[in-house]
Amino acid sequence: MSKKYIGVIPPVVTPVDADENVDEAGFRKLISHCIDNGLHGIFVAGSNGECLALTQAERDRAIGIAIDEAAGRVPVMAGTMDSSTRRVIENTKRLEQMGGTCAVVTPVFYARHATQDESVRHFEEIARHTSIDLMIYNIPPFTGQTLKPDTIFKIAEIDKVVGYKDTSGLLPDFMRCLAHFKGTDFILHQGATNLAVPSMLLGADGYIPSLAPLFPLPHVKLYDHGRAGDIAKTKLWGEIVDRACTVYPMAKSQTSSTKFALSRLGFFDKRPIRPTEPVRADEEKAISARIDEVFEMIRSAEG
């Protein structure tokens, strides 16, 4: 096994039209923009991509478009997470049929009784029904369960499980994983962008920042210098990335603020999927000012 899914891999938004169907033209432009600007992969149909807000047909369509547009230029990770093991298996089988190579899977959600052992069995059963790679995704606010490091270690022993995206925000737990998997081919991604600097300097394989399509340079610089162990340069670019992250809470919904920010690329409309509230005019003004500030920071850092 080799590490196929490393680097800065943005969890891309899903542009939609007025009927909340995937805006294919805009989405294709976004995917190619990411690749052309040096980002190392694509994560489609994640929480940032509103995967559970899309209809099943449109979710599958978004995944298919991403795989087709990437055309092997970079790896594509696709979210197949769902509320039961059977549903995840069905989602993953459709991903296989589309030519996908990596399914990103969370513990089940909505089932408030889910336990650590159930999550291990969840992955065991999914692995039995697929031939593609599986990536563990720990995102407690959306699943209601925090996967513990010992649970990650057990799931990692399952055939076809190749890596872990940690969006728990618990750096000590992530550090335990870094120590446990050091020297192996198991992939470790930091999902909380505010923890990218320490995670990269401590040996993470990459991180998953949703604003990387708008600010590719500082995100790639943070990754490159972090991998090289250059603390000063990693911190320099990390400060810019941290400032970019302040865009998220500038609207009621992080999805709305992210979509509006990325709509400034000119590829697609800012609309989120209902019932998520779109950004207000005053929020747009504040977000735009913050984006301009970040671009000025980038220019200064380059100079």
Residue type present at position 232: A
- pLDDT at position 113 is 67
Give CA separation, 88 vs 92, 119, 129, in Å.
Answer: 6, 12, 10
Query: Region 29-43: what's the mean pLDDT?
Result: 98
Beta bridge partners of 104: 79, 135
User: Can you tell me the distance from the alpha carbon of 278 to that of 300, in angstroms, rounded to the nearest whole number?
Assistant: 32
Tokens 């604003």 belong to 211
Instruction: Give the pLDDT band (50/70/90) at residue 11.
Output: very high
**Residue type at position 212:** A
**Cross-strand pairs, 103:** 78, 134
Q: What is the pLDDT of residue 139?
A: 95
Q: How many CB atoms lie within 10 A of CB 289?
A: 10
pLDDT at 111: 73
Angle between helices 216-228 and 231-245 (to 10 degrees): 150
pLDDT value, residue 2: 75
- Residue 36 pLDDT exceeds 70: yes
Percent of the chain with pLDDT over 70: 99
Q: CB–CB of 35/50 below 8 Å? A: no
Task: Classify strands 102-105 and 76-79 as parallel, antiparallel or unpaired.
Answer: parallel
Compute the average pLDDT of residues 41-55.
97
Domains within the chain, CATH numbers bracketed: 7-230 (3.20.20.70)
The whole-angstrom separation of Cα 202 and Cα 179 is: 9
What's the rounded mean pLDDT across residues 34-60? 97
**Whole-model pTM?**
0.96
How far apart are the C-alpha atoms of 145 and 109, rounded to whole Å?
8
Amino acid at 46: G
- Quote the mean pLDDT of the chain: 97
Interhelix angle 149-156/116-128, rounded to 10 degrees, is 20
Residues 89-117 have pLDDT tens digits of 999 999 999 999 999 999 998 877 679 99
